[in-house]
Structure 1
Amino acid sequence: MVINADTRTIKLLVSDFDQWHKWSPWQQVDTSIRFSVNEPSAGVGAHQSWVSKWGYGEMTITSINKDKIAFNLLLDNEHIVQGTLEFAQANQVIMVTCHIEGQATTLLISGYMAMFYKYILSNAVTLGLNNLKTVAQLYEPQATTDSHDSKNSTSPN
């Protein structure tokens, strides 16, 4: 996702679980989900957990550097997932890339579950990155103004 915002703004929104309600897709995907943000809420070691009609899980930020935030997920106490959000600056915009990898451990149906999870996660991550783009660009008034097609407006303002 290409985001017309400062890297610091994007990293603030991603590395602080108290900020996730502003952009996270999960309330849109599953209205039954309830989050608990634990201490610390931001930075390495930040931890959140959730419960919904589909199960429960927890997420921990494991490392942060200038180009990447890494995290681990534990789903239903059996599926371990690792992920990263990577940030690359090019031409005054930030390219944010999300990578998620894990294993399905349920015997016999793991392949089908993996395909289902890939479909759900792919769509949810795309929604989340779109939400992140909107929120981050709103934090940057000049970037938001420049990203609109206001040059074709008939208004003198």
Structure 2
Amino acid sequence: MKLLKKLGLGFLGLLTLLIAVSFLLPGKVRVERSLVMKASAATTFEQVNTLKNWEKWSPWHQMDPNMKITYEGPEAGTGAKYSWVGEEMGTGSLTIAGSQPHQAIKTALNFGNMGTSFAEYKFETVGEGTKVTWAMESDTKDMPWQWYVPSKYMNLFMEDMLAADFDKGLANLKEVVEKLPVAPAYKVEEKNIPATHVLTIKATCSQNDLSQKLGELYSEIAAYMQKNKLDFAGQPFAIYHKYDPAAIELEAGIPVNKPGNSAGRIQARERKAGPVAMIAHYGKYEDSYNAHMHMDSWLTQNKKTAIGAPWEVYVTDPAKEKDPEKWLTEVYYPL
């Protein structure tokens, strides 16, 4: 009994010592790694901003390739989220808490009862390409009380533990982006557009059904035009009021030579005159995403604000031009 009592007192003394020492250990730890990649800021940013791309480069995905991943929210940008369950990685979730096009991304990494850690990714254009910096900060004050003391001791090893993961992840990201096709060089043009009579239909569809849906809407408008003796006064366009890949809220339209009358779901109205910023995109329709990303960056850098939903004008008729690389799409943002 005396031996057990001594062992118990010894253990209690050791525990008390560990707790006391923990208050002297650093409570906040920051790990940061950087790597230059021969790719544009837009290209590297997209690989981090779109969570499904993480499967190509994230070191944690490679550690537990059989873990089950569930995606929620938008496909990219603020609010995008994935949760995981795995034998090696346990359970948790990652959410994009902030996204500044081509410049910075902030993520919140939730480990359940172990609390939340925040990471940031910065994209800096340099002579050789883009310098990507990956940093994570952990603060024990944000931990649940039962993890406070253990987390203080874990902080002693965190830099070594995470640095290797960050280095591997950045190396993987570098390999991925440097193999991707070079993004086209875009030029933003500011101009004023005249008022135009248009016929439009609002609809909602998924990204996978977008081309088919637009074709149906344009056919319906064209039939109305023929019936009411209205002529084309420009190329078909689509206004994107909300772009969620699962439920895109859009408005398909065709400019006409004179005012029409609304009928059913077809709305006849005037598109207002005013200043716009425009990018000419050549290539597949789905690749116009790069033009929108470039426009977001241009607006930020030039301290300008879009005052309405963007729209795309489909200048080239794919029925006449079979080469997708020659398809011209004009991307407009009202200023």
- Alpha-carbon deviation of 1:92? 4.0
Q: 1:73–1:109: structure 2 CA closer, same or farther, 3 Å change rule?
A: same
Is the alpha carbon distance of 1:32 and 1:116 closer, same or farther for their aligned partners in structure 2, counting shifts above 3 Å?
farther
Q: Is 1:85 aligned to residue 126 of structure 2?
A: no
TM (normalized to structure 2)?
Answer: 0.40
**Counterpart position of 1:115:** 156
Say whether residues 1:74 and 2:105 are aligned partners.
no
> Which protein has the larger Cα radius of gyration, Structure 1 or Structure 2?
2
Runs of 5+ in structure 1 lacking a partner? 143-157
C-alpha separation in 1, matches of 2:48 and 2:167: 15
**Percent identity (aligned):** 30
Query: Whole-Å Cα distance in 1 between the matches of residues 130 and 63 of structure 2?
Result: 26
Find 1:52's aligned residue among 65, 82, 86. Answer: 86
Unaligned runs of 5+ in 2: 1-34, 184-335
Matches of 2:45 and 2:120 in 1, distance apart?
12
Match of 2:178 in 1: 137
* 1:87-106 matched pairs, under 5 angstroms: 87-104=123-140, 105=143, 106=147
Counterpart in the other structure of 2:96: 61
**Which residues in structure 2 correspond to 1:1-16 (within 5 Å)?**
1-16=35-50
Distance 1:33 1:112, change over 3 A: farther
Q: Distance in 2 between matches of 1:90 and 1:15?
A: 20
Quick check: 1:125 aligned with 2:159? no
How many angstroms does 1:64 deviate by? 1.4
Aligned residue type for 2:86: S
SS of 1:135's equivalent in the other structure is: helix
TM-score of the superposed pair, with normalisation by structure 1: 0.80
Higher relative contact order (CA 8 A, sep 6+): 1
Contact between 2:37 and 2:128, CA under 8 Å: does it hold in 1? no
2:70 equivalent among 36, 41, 64: 36
Question: Considering only aligned residues, what root-mean-square deviation do their CA atoms show, in Å?
Answer: 2.0
